Chain A
Amino acid sequence: MTATRALPKLDADNRAFWTGGAEGKLLLMRCQDCKSFIHPPRPVCRNCMSENVAPEAVAGTGTVYSYTVNYQKWHPAMEVPFVIARVAIDGAPGVLLTSNIVGCPVDAVDIGNSVRVKFEQQGDVYIPLFEKIS
């Protein structure tokens, strides 16, 4: 799998998402008034404009909405091929996370696969990757 990753710059809005993995939690911003999820995380609800928002843990499972197998080495250190997918997150309607499906051959991934989050620590950041649930 790809060893090198560009890492996110942490700020007040995204810190919970990118560090929740330290406690094994996938944290998504949620409006405490209308209960909508807000992703990418922002300090205002995109559904009701409430500022009463806070990160909440979701189950960490989801479904492969779509995917692609990347074969192109975009930089010399990149190990290919690998799977990029958009994962529809269980319990968070409307949230689709771009991620990688790891732990299986690239041709074992399909739309509709059930997957579970698995965090990869890189310094202060915990990257949410996904594995197929067998």
Chain B
Amino acid sequence: MAHQTSLDFSKNAARAQADADLQSALAKLQRDTRLARPVITGRLPEFEDLRDRAVAIKDHTLAHLDHFLETFEANVTDAGGHVHWCNDAGGARETILQICRDSDAKIVGKSKSMVSEEIALNDYLIAHGLEVVETDLGEYILQLREETPSHVVMPAIHLKKEQIAETFRDHHTTLDPARPLDVPSDITEEARTKLREKFLAADVGITGANMLIAETGSIVVVTNEGNGDLTQTLPRVHIVIAAIEKVVPRVEDALSILRILARSATGQEITCYTTFATGPKRPDDLDGPEELHLILLDNGRTKLLEGEFRDVLRCIRCGACQSACPVYGAVGGHAYGGVYGGPIGAVLTPALDGIDKAWPLPEASSFCGNCEAVCPMRIPLPGLMRRWRDIAHKEKLNKAGARRGLALWAWAARRPAFYRFGARIALRLLKTLGGRRGYLRRVPLAGGWTTARDLPAPEGGTFIDRWQKESPGKTGS
């Protein structure tokens, strides 16, 4: 399940726009999200205050990240767990493989984890002889289809139930081919039966973490299916993989963030399962893993922490920016190519994969600002995309034609007299081309405009010229 290799947004978007199933799934997601938002925030008058509080918690944590991580490590160790610091994807993969080998694991159960996508963990473990089973329903479907998540909390949102039924028929070949799979409960029932076998057989369970609590060394995992709990309690060994920005100082802080997480992610007040786990099984515990390993992954975070992109480390992976983004709504998450789609992907992918490859992503935004408006952590996503555009422009990564056009325009805009002279000529030309119809179907040098729309012909004359002529005595300074 390596993530998509192409970061060519235009090409990916064209494919997505031609996919009718995807389009209807996205339209539904966007509409549901739009209608749910006022209900969710309306029911909780302190929602905005909670956002401020969550931002303050994360900003404080990030300002003292080393301290809180070390406190977390000490408390995990005290509780009997092992902490592994991993700088990059390769280091994390090797560490996890070694833990699996040390425990003679054959089957690995996995609950949903975006950071495991980031390091392409499944492919690696499978290539080294392990059987890896995703246990989140969406992720399980994607694993069968050899696809990647298209949304951080609704990984299979791009699929319709008919496509999922077909996938199950193709892969669950031991079951009766004539069985009904028409309603969602047929599908979930079948998945449950299949996954139960794996939960019980798994030697190692790998989960992500929604938060790490420094003062107790606990991990917090939220799911709606309970698969996270089965993954971390049934196998002998539990491996948690989490990026270093997931730490929060206190239990109380985790609770504050939980109050905005589900509301922003799915519109729920709280997820069906919210699990706090501390250390491996103690002698008197009835269940739990014998071993607990914490993989603390950097993978570029420290670099983000130092610079102008620090705010993005507040992200709690709720996916609100994706669900609310009209560009995401037009093309879906896969069009962004990287692990994370939508506005958060447009900011994170350049950091993870390099702006030289990912420069089209920060450009794939109309800067409508809806992502920032819904982000529970108030991450200034459009502002951060603009920072990437600054870098892409400085390094001349974007298209030369676009840069030349902009340079020419800016040259004129900085010379008002020349600009006005040029404007008069251009307007006369456009007015003539527009003719009596009032519209231009094709415009020289601005082909992109007329792909989808006509260009209204200008009214005639510039406002500045006409104001001077028609409003004598009021002429400008």
Partners in one complex: no
